[in-house]
Structures are given as C-alpha cells and as structure tokens.
C-alpha cells in the first residue's frame, strides 16, 4: 500500500513540477509535519509556536531575503496525531498537494522514520527537530536532523550516571515497546551500561504498551530485582505516571535518569512535582541561557506564558536551517530544482549558529553536537548540569 501511495505521489509531483514553492506570488511554502493532537500534544504545540515566532521575525524584516529579493514565507501545518501512518499521510500531502519546498518535522523517531522515507523518495528536504534514532537519516540524502542521536545520548547517560552516582552498579530499564525511539534507546543504554559495569548489571529490562497507565507489575519486579538506578527513555506523559507509582511502591530516594523525551513544559505539572531532583539527557537548557537562546526564550515566554522546551528550541533551529539553505541555494521557480538546491545547501552547511548549538552536518545528515544533561530543580526548571 505504501509503495502505491509513493508511486502516486511521484506521478502527481511530475505533473506539478511546473509549479514551485517560491512561485510567481513570491511566497515560499515550508511544511510542518507535527502532532497537534494524540497522546503528546505538547510536542507539536512547541513546534507550532516556534514557527509563529519565526513568522513574526520574518514579517518584521519584510520577508526572507533571497539573493536581494524579498519573499513571504508560509508555514503549512499538518497534524500527524503522533501516529506513524498519519505522519506518512501528512508527508504525502505536504509534498504533493501543498508542494512545499521543504518540511520541518516530524518530532519523534516513530513518525520521522516512515515520513523520512516519503520525503527522501520524493526528493523533498526534511529536517526533523527531535528524532534521535539513526534510521531517520540513514541512507536518505534528503533527510536531516537538528538533534543529537540515541547512540550519543545513551552512553552519555551511562557516563553521567557513573560520575554522579558512583554507588549505582545495578540498573533497571522501563521502556515503551510500541515506540521505536524508546525501545532503541533502552537497548543502547542496556548495552552501554553492561559494557561499563559488567555482565548481569542490568537486573531488569521491562516494557509497557502505549496506552498503559498502570506500571505496578513492572515496577514491582524492578524494585525486587535490587536495582540501584532506574532509566526511563520514555515520553513525558508516561514518565509523569511512572515516577509517582515507583515512589508509592517503595523506590525511595534512589536515582532515576531519563532521556530527551522528558523535556516537555508539562512534565512537572503532570507529575505533580514528582520529577523534581531527577536528571535527563537533552539538547539545551533554558535556565541560565544567554544571547540568542535567551532572546528566543524571552519571546516565547512573552507570547505563550511558559518556558519553551527542547522541541520548541530545536524546531526554531530546524526552520532557520531550511531558511538559510534557501538563501544559499536561491529560488529558480522550478520546484524540484529548488528542492535539490536546498538539500545540497544543508548537506554542505558549516557551523550553523543555532540556539541549541553550532551544527555542521556529517555524511548522514546528522549534526555533530554533545548531549546536555539537565536537572529538574526545585523550581521545576530544567537546569544545566554538564555536556557529555
């Protein structure tokens, strides 16, 4: 079915190539393949709000300057519902129906992996702000990302645990079996932990399903296994349920460590503060930010009333990566020529100065960046601890 859809997409695209994303009305269309509904709507909200800030900046500048000519920029947003199938449909719509020049998103590997296939096969550049699985970009020259990879953050988390909690020699892992991101990161952490602490040091490797809300069976096994540390490579909505239940079952004051999927503005409120004091690996830290990063945070807070999470910051960077590539490549008016030009400009981009760090892309379209470790402090802020 998927091959048929993609074939149809290619046919429609070939018929529409006389149209261009930067056509006669001087409007550049950029697609946003993001979740505005589903289990984690806060993820898409941050990405959408970031695009609105960029829109205001462009309007204040009179448009996007492309080799001396000003263009309006239109963000075409399609809700992927945090589902893989919907992300594929969203990608097809943006590529074929809306004829965007490039796509920002999806957020999360479970959507970015299948949507990336659509974008790559249809030769339309895609920059995912927040998808850490290596498969997202592997052998896909039209697909890029702005975040660190799981093979970076998993060993970074293990190394941080070794330095911060030297007494912790046995770990347990609880992951979402229905999510490629969570499962892959759990496996990478397990392997890295075993390499550092020896065979048998992972005493529990437990899983749950996407719709589960009661984790007492898995947590009881974890506690009974005698783990010194619990690793949760899970989305914030699940984390907000798991940690209070772990405490109720007797986890005590032993450390809990997480991944970048914790980085939502809703994490603290949904958990009723139960996550305070714990650490997770991520992409940037809002508390203590300076320069352009602080300027973005200030704009975001003034507009929406809360501190932007890493999805919002990475979405802001991803959109600017696309805009800079458009400025570098120029606009010819031929859709495929312009898409190819944007792809080539991103692939050769050096030291892009983003609010989440400088980025130069490797042969797989991945940025070379360190993982950031943050602590959820007593005020509920994500406080910078170190970079690994």
Task: Write out pLDDT tens, residues 289-338.
Answer: 899 999 999 999 999 999 999 999 999 999 999 999 999 999 999 999 99
Instruction: Tell me which of 21 and 62 has the higher pLDDT.
Output: 62
Give every CB contact of residue 89 below 8 A, 6+ residues apart in sequence: 80
Encode pLDDT of 334-360 as tens digits. Answer: 999 999 999 999 999 999 999 999 999
Q: Tell whether omega for the bond before 22 is within 30 degrees of 0, i.e. cis.
A: no
* pLDDT value for 181: 87
What pLDDT, on the 0 to 100 scale, is given for residue 25? Answer: 63
Q: Which domains does the chain have, with CATH numbers?
A: 27-148+289-369 (3.40.50.2300), 151-282 (3.40.50.2300)
Checking if the pLDDT of 31 tops 60, the result is yes
Sequential DSSP letters for 306-345: S---HHHHHHHHHHHHHHHHHHHH---S-HHHHHHHHHHH
Residue 364 pLDDT > 90, yes or no? Answer: yes
237 is written with which tokens? 């909505």
- Say what the pLDDT of residue 8 is: 43
Q: Which residues pair with 69 in a beta bridge?
A: 66
Q: Mind spelling out the 3-state secondary structure of 191-250?
A: HHHHHHHCCCCEEEEEEECCCCCCCHHHHHHHHHCCCCEEEECCCHHHHHHHHHHHHHCC
Q: Tell me: the pLDDT tens digits for 97-151?
A: 999 999 999 998 889 999 999 999 999 999 999 998 999 999 999 999 999 999 9
């Amino acid at each position: 079915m998927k091959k048929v859809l993609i074939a149809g997409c290619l046919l429609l695209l070939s018929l529409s190539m006389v149209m261009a994303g930067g056509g006669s009305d001087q409007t550049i269309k950029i697609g946003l393949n993001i979740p505005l509904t589903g289990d984690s709507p806060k993820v898409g909200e941050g990405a959408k709000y970031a695009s609105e800030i960029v829109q205001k900046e462009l309007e204040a500048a009179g448009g996007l300057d492309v080799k001396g000519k000003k263009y309006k920029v239109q963000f075409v947003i399609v809700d992927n519902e945090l589902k893989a199938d919907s992300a594929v449909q969203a990608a097809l719509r943006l590529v074929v129906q809306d004829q965007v020049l490039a796509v920002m998103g999806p957020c999360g590997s479970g959507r970015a992996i299948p949507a990336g296939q659509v974008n790559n096969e249809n030769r339309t550049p895609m920059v995912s702000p927040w998808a850490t699985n290596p498969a997202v970009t592997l052998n896909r020259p039209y697909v890029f990302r702005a975040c660190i990879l799981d093979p970076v953050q998993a060993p970074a988390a293990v190394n941080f645990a070794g330095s911060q909690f030297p007494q912790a020699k046995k770990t347990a892992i609880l992951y979402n079996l229905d999510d490629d991101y969570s499962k892959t990161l759990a496996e990478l952490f397990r392997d890295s932990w075993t390499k550092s602490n020896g065979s048998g040091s992972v005493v529990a490797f437990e899983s749950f399903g996407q719709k589960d809300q009661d984790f007492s069976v898995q947590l009881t096994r974890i506690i009974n296994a005698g783990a010194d540390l619990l690793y949760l490579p899970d989305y914030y909505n699940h984390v907000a349920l798991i940690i209070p239940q772990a405490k109720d079952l007797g986890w005590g004051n032993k450390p809990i460590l997480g991944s970048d999927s914790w980085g939502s503005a809703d994490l603290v409120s949904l958990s009723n503060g139960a996550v305070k004091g714990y650490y997770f690996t991520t992409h940037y830290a809002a508390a203590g930010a300076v320069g352009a990063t602080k300027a973005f945070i200030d704009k975001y807070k003034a507009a929406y009333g809360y501190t932007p999470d890493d999805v919002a910051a990475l979405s802001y960077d991803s959109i600017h990566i696309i805009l800079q590539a458009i400025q570098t490549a120029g606009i010819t008016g031929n859709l495929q020529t312009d898409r190819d030009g944007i792809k080539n400009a991103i692939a050769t981009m050096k030291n892009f100065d983003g609010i989440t760090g400088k980025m130069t892309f490797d042969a797989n379209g991945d940025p070379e960046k360190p993982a950031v470790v943050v602590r959820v402090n007593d005020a509920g802020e994500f406080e910078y601890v170190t970079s690994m």
